Structure 1
């Protein structure tokens, strides 16, 4: 899929800047592109603020280290993974997956209807990726059920899907979907799409049901040729949905930006931000800070002057930004796939790469929708009550996010609720229930496990030594074992250790502790010996010490948040 070519970064707010494509980059940061040296010189007065930022220095250190103190997260957070309890999760925080992998399961020539259930969907990233990557040979009807218990999530998912279904132009739809999904401010053209094409659809329903009881459960199906979207909500929620299409009265772009930055650049959370930045290259630190500042998912040098409207799907209350300070669109997509996406000469522009990656994914999604018979059904229901609305034995795939974690429904409840909805083996031997365990290793690891992991010699230990040489940890006689926990290099060592550790014995203990063997006897679903949709440990090291690229893989994995402990388990009807 083609990547959108970047416009020269020498733009101005009054639209008098250069409109040519950029073919050269700033050699100081590799974040912006220019059409030539004249524009680069003209833009330097503006660009040097970013290019010469202290974040771009190789010697940059976090504030807690400069002040020789222990950051609060060492005591507040388990395993150095930031906690966002009590905040909205409107963007995915684990990379998107294709829940079908049709070619390697049912086969690209599958001749039956496909039914997919995203039972605790979060945002649309898994839906988009699954449909975008479907083989072109599949031409049968598809039913996609998307549910989340958070109304804000469901409202945004419905709006983004309606944009996909009502827009006339694929490129315009993709760009509008990106910004409604991820940008704090949107363009007038995006707001026009919401208010001229989506809002009337919702208003007509609200008018028809205005005399219904506020607790009445009401559904509406919109049809667009071969495609349809059905939304089932209580009457009161239909009324709330209108607010997601209108900017709060009196809220300006400047006010919205101040409200957001009060969260994303909160000085009391600076240590959490610096924790993320210690793993980044200098240019990526600058890029991340830019996103914290303006909240626009765009290439670094792209013009911002059109983004003058607060995103109404994010700003429901004039003085509230709904997400945590560390929420980042990068968390919802494969970092490797993003880094492999071209961004022209601006090779360090990670958000430019992310923009191009998501845009390509959305274009593929929209193109696939254009030639398929697809019906979407959206619910805002509790996980345990969702089966009441669905037909038993009807789904090829059921994806439940991390609802099987003990912090949520747990595996036994998940199997009890979701198992009967899965197609039986005689109907489809490839039908799969996909469960993600994010907390199992953290819950089960003992202090003895941690000590053994630190001091047991394995071939990977040599790889960690290479990593430490890469980050300069052995310079001047540095001893990681003697370093204080607050030392950035010691924190990097902890992350690197986690990425090469063997968690299989610990997960086996977790399964034994919570009697996974009973699931088959009690609920009629059995664990698949070999995963066929998503790897068991998709974020662990693939290469071994001594193999070409192993160090580079470890450097990439030891970026931001340790995901190596995330375990997928697949189940089938028994």
Structure 2
């Protein structure tokens, strides 16, 4: 992809003096770019509001400190949530589920069949296809399912944009804003209404008379059609009021400030901007063109569908995003994400145009997938998000549904089922475990003090240093013994063997503890790694498990065979 064009923050279409190309940044915040001193000076009355913000100061303190009160989350716990109940953004960084080089091999050319059984957004499919080796020229069949129609509808629309818009750059920017921005441009809405709407409407015409239980039920397609149209009467102003009533709710001020405790000064400013306008753009980009509510978010005129902490950054590797070039505006974290997504989505679109790729999308509970809809023994990879957690299907039902869909070791010895346990450690941690980690001389405490040395005895439970210390503890503790207890208590091995499967001892796709700190305190880059983990959306307690089918002979169907 060509080097991104970084735009001067003072540029506008009527400008005669601006050179448009941003060549240097504001040295105070490193958030915006300018073509020269004249534009910097001209733009200062606008930029100084952010650049001189209290959030930009190293001395910034949360409001609960300034107001000398106990923060709202003390006693409420980290699990308190606010806003809509939908997960339209990924909340765990995307992964490439193939990793061909470590599995089938970089020269593999056979067909690939992938199942994302509880897909959430498109990120895992996008990253997987974008990272296919250039040498791969086989066919790829991607099956995606989610029980939430909003998720499936948004995925369908993003895929259609990638497939029908000829100009890749235009398609990529449109996907980014439809996926992540609360408001979209007229050009984006034109694509939805003039290119995507007619395609969906033609299917609606064909589904007339289909029974409600049919995969092509008319009601689902009619609902899908509504995602291309802004609800009647919904203005930009009303849409933003609806959204900010969630993202800037007064009752959630302390929760936002707690999140900002772990951010750098410039990132605090960027976070506040995104909470305010909900536009995924470089910090200094013009907002004038974003004049329409994004209909894939606003399905009615009185609700914002997501939790207040939903953040596009949580769906992608924060290290990859931070390392992505954004010109001299090195602190512009959402700008980096914007340019990173441009590159990933462009690679995805290029691979779609050069490969034989087919998509199938379902909208149902993952437990119903195997019933009449999918062929047994047909998938090279199955990724199921965290439905194996106890609050969803649980590991036994997940294995029972998914293992039969996985290819046998004779067909593909690298076929893998990927499960994620996001909540298992918390749900199975005992009081004794917590006390052991919190002990003054515990390994976790000693390690944490090397990253966050306390400057003195905390004044109260509201002391920001103490709050940071408490919430950072999970990032330095090890939880293997707790997860081993989960494996034993829930009889992972026995359940898998009964179904003709086994846990993979050596992972070949994703690290078991993907988000655990890799460096030791004092090593080069260790503090940066620690700070990055705390600033992101994961805790370090997330545990992946890879599964494979094993050869079974005699009475396989009845589960009485012997595994080899």
| TM-score category, normalised to shorter length | over 0.9
Distance 1:101 1:120, change over 3 A: same
Q: Does 1:394 align with 2:392?
A: no
User: What is the distance in 2 between the residues matched to 1:562 and 1:489?
Assistant: 20
The residue aligned with 2:88 is: 90
Give the CA deviation at 1:260. Answer: 1.1
Give the CA deviation at 1:65. Answer: 2.3
Note if contact 1:3-1:360 (Cα within 8 Å) is conserved in structure 2: no
Q: 2:302 aligns with which of 319, 324, 328?
A: 319
Q: 1:357 aligns with which of 329, 336, 340?
A: 340
User: What is the distance in 2 between the residues matched to 1:250 and 1:507?
Assistant: 51
Between the two proteins, the alignment pairs up a number of residues equal to 549
The residue aligned with 2:104 is: 106
Q: 2:394 aligns with which of 394, 410, 416?
A: 410
Cα deviations across residues 280-303 of structure 1 (Å, max 9, x unaligned)? 111111100000111100000011
The residue aligned with 1:304 is: 287
User: What is the distance in 2 between the residues matched to 1:64 and 1:3?
Assistant: 44
Q: 1:199 aligns with which of 168, 173, 197?
A: 197
> For 1:154-165, what aligned pairs fall within 5 Å after superposition?
154-165=152-163
Q: 1:556 aligns with which of 532, 537, 544?
A: 532
- Secondary structure, counterpart of 2:535 in structure 1: coil
User: What is the distance in 2 between the residues matched to 1:110 and 1:357?
Assistant: 28
- Secondary structure, counterpart of 2:223 in structure 1: helix
The residue aligned with 1:61 is: 61
User: What is the distance in 2 between the residues matched to 1:402 and 1:517?
Assistant: 18
Give the CA deviation at 1:212. Answer: 3.3
Note if contact 1:395-1:423 (Cα within 8 Å) is conserved in structure 2: yes
User: What is the distance in 1 between the residues matched to 2:462 and 2:479?
Assistant: 25
The residue aligned with 1:339 is: 322
The residue aligned with 1:270 is: 253
Q: Does 1:431 align with 2:422?
A: no
Give the CA deviation at 1:397. Answer: 0.3
Q: 1:187 aligns with which of 177, 180, 185?
A: 185
- Secondary structure, counterpart of 2:242 in structure 1: helix
Give the CA deviation at 1:556. Answer: 1.5
Note if contact 2:97-2:128 (Cα within 8 Å) is conserved in structure 1: yes
Cα deviations across residues 393-426 of structure 1 (Å, max 9, x unaligned)? 0000000000000000000000000000000111
The residue aligned with 2:477 is: 501
User: What is the distance in 2 between the residues matched to 1:213 and 1:241?
Assistant: 17
Cα deviations across residues 5-47 of structure 1 (Å, max 9, x unaligned)? 2110003597778351101111121100000000000000111
User: What is the distance in 2 between the residues matched to 1:483 and 1:496?
Assistant: 19
Note if contact 1:6-1:302 (Cα within 8 Å) is conserved in structure 2: no
User: What is the distance in 2 between the residues matched to 1:335 and 1:573?
Assistant: 33
Note if contact 1:277-1:560 (Cα within 8 Å) is conserved in structure 2: no
The residue aligned with 1:517 is: 493
Moved more, 555-564 or 81-90: 81-90
Note if contact 1:401-1:436 (Cα within 8 Å) is conserved in structure 2: yes
Note if contact 1:82-1:272 (Cα within 8 Å) is conserved in structure 2: no
Q: Does 1:531 align with 2:507?
A: yes
User: What is the distance in 2 between the residues matched to 1:444 and 1:460?
Assistant: 18
Distance 1:119 1:31, change over 3 A: same
Distance 1:17 1:154, change over 3 A: farther
Give the CA deviation at 1:81. Answer: 4.9
- Secondary structure, counterpart of 1:120 in structure 2: coil
Q: Does 1:7 align with 2:4?
A: no
The residue aligned with 2:46 is: 46
- Structure 1: tracts of 5 or more residues without a match: 219-233
Cα deviations across residues 145-188 of structure 1 (Å, max 9, x unaligned)? 00000000000000000000001011111100000000011111
Cα deviations across residues 192-236 of structure 1 (Å, max 9, x unaligned)? 111111111011111232333444331xxxxxxxxxxxxxxx221
Give the CA deviation at 1:429. Answer: 0.8
Distance 1:3 1:501, change over 3 A: farther
Note if contact 1:405-1:439 (Cα within 8 Å) is conserved in structure 2: yes
- Structure 2: tracts of 5 or more residues without a match: 551-564
